Amino acid sequence: MLKSLRWKFIIYAAITLFAILLLLPTVTSKLPKWLSKVIPSEEIHRGLDLQGGVYLLLGVEEDKAVENYLEQIRSSLADNLRQQGVPVGKIEIGKIDVKGEKQEAILLEFSGAKEKVDNLLSSRDFSMLKQMQPSEERGIWKFQLVLDSRITESTKKDAIDRALEIIRNRVDQFGVSEPEITLQGMDQILIQLPGFSDPQRAIKLIGQTALLEFKLVDE
């Protein structure tokens, strides 16, 4: 009888000790070397629901990215027209109606030299532009140039990809363990920083807008 009780005690003690060893990684990541080879040494990650933190939902300005890209094309087109001696009356960004929707376009007005302009627009440098109902009045040609729909979608996607990359680089500065940065819907980015206790600092650093432009100064 005593021998049977002794064996039961040994078995229960062994099970209890084993359970304690399995629970240790949830309490501390500093385990003895011999023990870390047997069981995992990393703490169980606790999300916002367990330890709190910062939750942000940011919107990506896709339309602004398309507008900036169109402005770069407009500037390049103006330079090319000037180099070819085409008399340009107007070349600016404006909104036109395309199938019932307002869309950004390059509004171009010039006199004569239509063949030069057609050749320029059909070149590889400006193949992303589509003409919408060109018209002529008293020798003045009016072109409405819009981005190809595939280029528009590609520009928006690139803007979102760049935004995700920039945010991930900025979040790395916080040293937050296992942050979550994911695309929410079509144009929003969800950011979760478990254990981070300074939401204003996070908003200031992550939410700030960055825009780098190179412009030629005409002296």
CB 189 within 8 A of CB 167: yes
147-166: average pLDDT:
89
Distance CA 80, CA 49 (A): 58
The SS3 call for residue 179 is coil
Of 20-29, 70-79, 170-179, minimum mean pLDDT range:
20-29
Q: What are phi and psi of 193, to 5 degrees?
A: -120, 90
48-76: average pLDDT:
80
Q: How confident is the model at residue 71 (pLDDT cuts 50, 70, 90)?
A: very high
Q: Which of 170, 178, 176 is nearest to 204 (CA)?
A: 170
pLDDT (0 to 100) of residue 23 = 62
**Within 13 Å and on the Cβ side, how many CA atoms surround 116?**
15
For CA atoms 169, 170, 172, 178, the dihedral sign is negative
Q: What are phi and psi of 57, to 5 degrees?
A: -130, 110
β-sheet bridge partners, residue 145: 106, 131
Distance CA 61, CA 78 (A): 26
β-sheet bridge partners, residue 191: 56, 181
- Quick one: how far is CA 145 from the chain centroid? 27
pLDDT at 67 over 60: yes
CATH of 49-62+152-207, one of 3.30.10.20, 3.30.70.3400, 3.20.20.70, 3.40.50.1820: 3.30.70.3400
pLDDT at 162 over 60: yes
pLDDT (0 to 100) of residue 21 = 63
pLDDT (0 to 100) of residue 44 = 46
CATH of domain 63-149: 3.30.70
pLDDT at 19 over 50: yes
pLDDT (0 to 100) of residue 70 = 93
Q: What is the DSSP letter of 125?
A: G
pLDDT at 75 over 60: yes
The SS3 call for residue 94 is strand
CB 65 within 8 A of CB 155: yes
Residue type at 192 in one-letter notation: Q
156-181: average pLDDT:
82
90-145: per-residue pLDDT in tens?
Answer: 999 998 888 888 888 999 999 888 899 999 999 999 999 998 888 888 889 999 99
Q: Do domains 49-62+152-207 and 63-149 have the same CATH topology?
A: yes
Q: Show me where the domains of the chain are located.
A: 2-44, 49-62+152-207, 63-149
Q: What is the mean pLDDT of the chain?
A: 78
